[in-house]
């Protein structure tokens, strides 16, 4: 356990070094004279508008997860409570490892009457569907010329995506659930997964990722108004960069990894320095989009556990 923690810390330090050296020192400080001579025309309206729409889309994503919970357990979380759980549990992304966010969703959902195992599995399944839909969108829209030396890897990833999506086939998932339930002695779902439900969740997540990319596009234009980047390019870059950053287990919140990917993928269109500035400012932009609604909800409702834990009403059980 100590060796594992030490390895995680070492990985985090390595990412921090790369972030500081390549993005801050090499791309910014060494080129500061050229960077400061450019006419930066920062625009507050698209920055603020894209940030607010991003926050609303995060809230909409929580409702997709709410549908997953209902599909598996028959328990209907209140819409506001689902938003609250989603934003609070998202804080877990900034801790080492990637399970804290999922664990937080499961624990808070359990407080609202969702059975423990079903709460945990709904969190995992919701996250998997979200990542798969984002990966599908990113691989479709990311142009090969922006991938550079990774263009061949991108081509192979596109070929492998249908195989990965096949794991969402209900008979396979239901057999997997039954097998895990037999090992744990507790059911992971009160209801079998249905194809129409999985297709609905996947489609809704596609819409969410499209809006994420749209917000990212207008964020880029708020920093670099003359950016020659299509909306579809922005969608692909955001999805790929965000997902790989999320999957980097050694980087809390994808810090460093996401910025490096954004810089590399945007450099061909914006130039290295502009891409670096966009990548670094995007961390502030995304953090605000998550933290502003969270602070508001904590001020209104208090810390987790202080909301009413009575079973929600709404859908028939």
Q: What is the pLDDT of residues 212-228, one digit of tens each?
A: 999 999 999 999 998 88
**How far is 86 from 66, CA to CA, in rounded Å?**
10
pTM of the model: 0.79
Instruction: Give pLDDT, residue 206.
Output: 95
Element (H, E) at 314: none
Tens digit of pLDDT for each residue in 54-70? Answer: 999 999 999 999 999 88
N-terminal to C-terminal alpha carbon distance within the chain: 43
**How far is 127 from 69, CA to CA, in rounded Å?**
12
**How far is 213 from 230, CA to CA, in rounded Å?**
11
Classify the C-alpha dihedral 107-199-164-63 as positive or negative: negative
Cβ 83 vs Cβ 300: under 8 Å: no
Instruction: Give pLDDT, residue 180.
Output: 76
pLDDT, averaged across the chain: 78
Please tell me the least confidently modeled range out of 48-52, 67-71, 145-149, 286-290.
145-149
Tens digit of pLDDT for each residue in 26-82? Answer: 545 545 555 555 566 789 999 999 999 999 999 999 999 999 988 888 888 889 888
**How far is 45 from 47, CA to CA, in rounded Å?**
5
Residue 189: φ, ψ to 5°: -150, 140
Would you give the distance in Å from CA 290 to the centre of its chain?
A: 11
Tokens for 262, please give them: 């954004």
């Amino acid at each position: 356990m100590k060796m594992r923690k030490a390895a995680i810390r070492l990985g985090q330090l390595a990412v921090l070094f790369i972030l500081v050296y390549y993005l801050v020192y090499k791309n910014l400080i060494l080129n500061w004279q050229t960077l400061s001579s450019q006419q930066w025309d920062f625009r507050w309206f698209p920055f603020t508008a894209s940030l607010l729409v991003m926050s609303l889309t995060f809230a909409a994503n929580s409702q997709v997860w709410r549908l997953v919970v209902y599909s598996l357990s028959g328990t209907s979380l209140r819409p506001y409570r689902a938003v609250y759980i989603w934003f609070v549990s998202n804080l877990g992304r900034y801790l080492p490892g990637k399970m804290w966010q999922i664990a937080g969703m499961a624990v808070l959902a359990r407080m609202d009457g969702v059975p423990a195992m079903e709460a945990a599995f709904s969190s995992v399944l919701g996250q998997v569907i979200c990542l798969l839909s984002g990966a599908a969108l990113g691989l479709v829209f990311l142009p090969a010329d922006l991938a550079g030396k990774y263009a061949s890897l991108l081509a192979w990833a596109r070929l492998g995506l249908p195989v990965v999506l096949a794991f969402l086939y209900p008979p396979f998932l239901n057999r997997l659930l039954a097998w895990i339930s037999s090992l744990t002695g507790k059911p992971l779902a009160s209801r079998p997964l249905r194809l129409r439900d999985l297709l609905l969740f996947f489609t809704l997540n596609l819409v969410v990722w499209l809006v994420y990319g749209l917000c990212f596009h207008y964020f880029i234009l708020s920093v670099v108004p003359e950016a020659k980047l299509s909306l579809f390019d922005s969608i692909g870059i955001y999805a790929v960069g965000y997902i790989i950053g999320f999957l980097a287990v050694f980087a809390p919140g994808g810090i460093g990894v996401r910025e490096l990917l954004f810089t590399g993928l945007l450099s061909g269109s914006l130039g290295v320095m502009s891409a670096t500035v966009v990548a670094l400012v995007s961390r502030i932009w995304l953090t605000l989009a998550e933290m502003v609604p969270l602070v508001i909800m904590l001020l209104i409702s208090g810390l987790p556990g202080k909301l009413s834990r009575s079973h929600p009403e709404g859908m028939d059980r």
